[in-house]
Structure 1
Amino acid sequence: METRAIRSFDGTSIYYTYDPGQRDQGRSRYCGNKDGDKECMVFVHGAGANHTIWSAYLERFRDKRIIAPDLRGHGRSSRGRMSISRCAKDLKAVLDHEGMEKAVLVAHSLGSAVSVEFYRQNPGMVSRLVLMNIFSKEYIRLGATFALFNSALVKILRKLNSRRKLRFQDYEKLRKKAFFRYAIADFRGTSYTAYFGALQELFRYNLCLDTLEVPVMLLQGTRDIFSDNSRILARTANNPNISIKLLRAGHLTPLREGDVIPLIERFMKHDPRRD
């Protein structure tokens, strides 16, 4: 694996981990067809995190071509102006730079919204979506209260943020620590305006899951205090493209890799539309 960087459409520096994967007679083992060299798996983290939250996944899927970006304002990427649409365009810039034409997107929280937006902007480039702990306007518990608090907070933190020095956080080293350690790491490694700006975007964004036309697997935590699972189940019931798995987890489902990775492996081989 190696770290690479590009300048995105607006000049923001986007860093990402890249692994070409093991090749089998010139073909990607994931794709197994003549276009395999132009297809990849993309891992998109949530608000406040960075690509290292996917370390176990990157190791497990090393036989695939892998891209794991740090979203703008997160990890090693520069701050830039935060929006879900801009993050999706950053992702497109990375895939274009690597010559990728198709992707399976595996995403968490904010990353799920970015991945859905990427699909909307580039529907022909997405073959499957794995979305964990989705977080958006339609499904947030107490959404209006969160939104009001966050809007005021962003204005205050924007004034405090410009000179703050950020420290890159390795989430793999924190995985056995308590939840609050993750929260502290989020703030040490992410600009305030990027973090709360991302949340503000999510309060406004509609995922419209019922309109997705590619195979989708939703992985939700039964103890997730942010997402309303009953509403998610109701809104997706009539879309045959979507399968939903409820795990005994909170909002950090990616840390349950022992449960999640086998589900992803099965989903990669299965088309829910055939059920």
Structure 2
Amino acid sequence: MTLAYDEAGAGEAVVLLHSSAADSRMWDPQWEALTARFRVIRPDLRGYGRTPYASETPYSDPGDVADLLAVLAVERAALVGASYGGQVALEVATAHPALVSRLVLLNPGCGLPPTPDLVVFGEEEDRLLEAGEVEAAVELNARTWLGPEADGRARTGQMAMQRHAFEVQLAADPEPSQLEGEIDLDRVTMPTLVVGGAHDLPYFQMTARHLADRLASVTTVHLEWAGHLPSMERPGEITSLILRHLTRPAG
């Protein structure tokens, strides 16, 4: 199955990978500026946005992304990932390092064991969804993932994307079988920008420090104002940050 996606612009390829608390629409604020400089592709992963939550065989998100780029004849691309999208970007870079020119990782996951803060969030989200309290789970995600700089429009947008994802995934019958991607940081040697937020969960702040210590070619930025989804909280500032990294001379 090919993921639903948007594509616009020309030049070097840039792929935008969304958070699991959103879908490809989270990149709306960055779309115009990025497509003016690059060929930009933004897919919806399975169960998000316009892509069904279905598969006849076990699938993986990094495999889906790599397959989409093959369909689009993209031989090399920069990957920009937020949260879970950052984890998928690292998984693609591990499996297909020659495919990835650069990485921009906004509060990414990288497979570290969960810390108590993340466990508490996950247990509460599961409890609400099992009780059929979808709207309460949507509100929990908005409280957890959006920092104090997020305005009403950002909160409304994030909640709409999260609500849709829950509805699609909860309705799946049968639920597809998903394979876990692999992350090997020794294989991630391309220039990488890691962005962390002071208002994010401690788990993701720890992850940012881990990546800063382990990656071969890494620049780190810690944003005192940011929560977990800074591209939605201060869109213009994050757009500029992404553009600076993507246009910086390699080496």
Tell me how far 1:113 sits from its aligned partner.
1.0
Deviation string 1:20-75 (CA, Å, 9 cap, x unpaired) is 42xxxxxx2xxxxxxxxxx4100111113121111121100123111001111011
Say whether 1:266 aligns with 2:244. Answer: yes
Identify the residue that residue 172 of structure 1 maps to in structure 2.
none
Identify the residue that residue 166 of structure 1 maps to in structure 2.
none
Change in 2 beyond 3 A, CA 1:67/1:228:
closer
Q: How many residues align?
A: 226
Change in 2 beyond 3 A, CA 1:215/1:103:
same
Q: Mind listing any 5+ residue stretches in structure 1 that lack a counterpart?
A: 1-6, 9-13, 22-27, 29-38, 162-174, 196-200
SS for the counterpart of 1:227 is helix
d(CA) in 2 for partners of 1:72 and 1:125? Answer: 21
Amino acid at match of 2:245: F
- Alignment check: 8 A CA contact 2:76 2:101 kept: yes
Identify the residue that residue 118 of structure 1 maps to in structure 2.
92
SS for the counterpart of 1:237 is helix
The TM-score normalised by the length of structure 1 is 0.68
Report percent identity of matched pairs: 24
Q: 1:71 aligns with which of 32, 35, 45?
A: 45
Identify the residue that residue 75 of structure 2 maps to in structure 1.
101
Say whether 1:49 aligns with 2:22. Answer: yes
Identify the residue that residue 186 of structure 1 maps to in structure 2.
161
Change in 2 beyond 3 A, CA 1:152/1:251:
same
Change in 2 beyond 3 A, CA 1:101/1:69:
same
Q: Mind listing any 5+ residue stretches in structure 2 that lack a counterpart?
A: 135-149, 171-177
Change in 2 beyond 3 A, CA 1:218/1:152:
same
d(CA) in 2 for partners of 1:65 and 1:131? Answer: 19
Tell me how far 1:98 sits from its aligned partner.
1.2
Say whether 1:61 aligns with 2:50. Answer: no
Greater C-alpha radius of gyration: 1
Tell me how far 1:183 sits from its aligned partner.
5.2
Question: Bigger CA drift: 183-192 or 93-102?
Answer: 183-192
SS for the counterpart of 2:89 is helix
Instruction: Please tell me the root mean square deviation across aligned C-alpha atoms, in Å.
Output: 3.6
Identify the residue that residue 212 of structure 2 maps to in structure 1.
236
Greater relative contact order (CA < 8 Å, ≥ 6 in sequence) = 2
